Amino acid sequence: MCFNATASFVGAGIVLTAGVGSLALVRDKRQIPFATLPLIFGLHQFMEGVTWLKLDNQARHGEVQCLTGYDVHLWVLIAWALFPLIVPWSVWFMERDPRRRKLLLIPSWVGTILFVYMMYQVLQPAIQVSVNGGNLDYVLPGFSPGILAYPYVFATCIAPAMSSYRYVVMVGVGNFIAMTIAAWMNVNDYASIWCTFAAFLSIIIFLHFWHERRVEGRTPTGSPPRDPVGAT
């Protein structure tokens, strides 16, 4: 998490558990990408915990709390490049309604374009992270988060909100609320704060698969596949 190493590791454990549970409930291979999201979030939180340990060690030795390197670049890659790519495509991949699948291609390709652009940004050597007001502040030179927030929100929030599955819609709405709260709390530490909130949306992802298994268990043998449109 953005607050300290202990919180990051505890959060990672909770989210990773949700990820394992989600994968265990999967019965359709098209759901696997969406079910892996909690595992990616959990790994992301674990990486931030390691970053906190390194920064705390610098503080104990009287050094300036500032880091750079491959692990910092990897954190930024996951947060700003991978999430806008995998979130919309994972929703599209498991969507059964043809009309919604066509519409979901729009945020999915927006996320793909953003992924390509952010991959270029991640290759810049000057990326660093420091402690700012008790939170982690990731700095990307030449990066304009205010402008890129629009395609990012479109890919990571609007795409899930377009789903025909109730809990997936909740992920999109919850993600938008998390982004809004993070921006209100601190603009400089926005990415780290949002990723903390968004990670716990993984619990909703687990609830989605748990709900689908319950519905599947109530469906009589030989019945046609349930239409997810308007599913509750």
Residue 85 has pLDDT above 60, yes or no: yes
- With respect to residue 229, please indicate whether it lies within any of the assigned structural domains: no
Let me know: does 166 contact 230? Beta carbons within 8 Å.
Answer: no
- With respect to residue 194, please indicate whether it lies within any of the assigned structural domains: yes
pLDDT value for 229: 46
- With respect to residue 110, please indicate whether it lies within any of the assigned structural domains: yes
The Cβ of residue 30 has, within 10 Å, a number of other Cβ atoms equal to 13
Instruction: For 32-48, write each residue's pLDDT tens digit.
Output: 999 999 999 999 989 98
Helices marked H in 3-128 — which ranges?
A: 5-25, 32-35, 37-60, 70-76, 83-94, 98-122
> Would you place residue 230 in the very low, low, confident or very high pLDDT band (cuts 50, 70, 90)?
very low
- With respect to residue 32, please indicate whether it lies within any of the assigned structural domains: yes
> Would you place residue 188 in the very low, low, confident or very high pLDDT band (cuts 50, 70, 90)?
low
Instruction: For 204-224, write each residue's pLDDT tens digit.
Output: 999 999 999 888 766 555 444
- With respect to residue 31, please indicate whether it lies within any of the assigned structural domains: yes
Report how far residue 95's alpha carbon sits from residue 129's, in angstroms, rounded to the nearest whole number: 37
pLDDT value for 36: 96
The token pair that represents 129 in the structure block: 């992270």
pLDDT value for 226: 53
Bridge partners (DSSP) of residue 138 are: 129
CA angle 25, 228, 178 (to 5 degrees): 70
The Cβ of residue 54 has, within 10 Å, a number of other Cβ atoms equal to 15
pLDDT value for 166: 96
- With respect to residue 205, please indicate whether it lies within any of the assigned structural domains: yes
The Cβ of residue 158 has, within 10 Å, a number of other Cβ atoms equal to 18
Question: Domain containing 144: what range?
Answer: 5-211
Instruction: For 139-186, write each residue's pLDDT tens digit.
Output: 887 667 677 889 999 999 999 999 999 999 999 999 898 888 777 765
- Total number of domains constituting the chain: 1
- With respect to residue 45, please indicate whether it lies within any of the assigned structural domains: yes
pLDDT value for 141: 75
- With respect to residue 64, please indicate whether it lies within any of the assigned structural domains: yes
With a pLDDT cut of 70, the percent of the chain lying above it is: 83
User: Is residue 144 helix, strand or coil?
Assistant: coil
pLDDT value for 172: 94
> Would you place residue 61 in the very low, low, confident or very high pLDDT band (cuts 50, 70, 90)?
confident
Report how far residue 16's alpha carbon sits from residue 154's, in angstroms, rounded to the nearest whole number: 26
Report how far residue 17's alpha carbon sits from residue 25's, in angstroms, rounded to the nearest whole number: 13
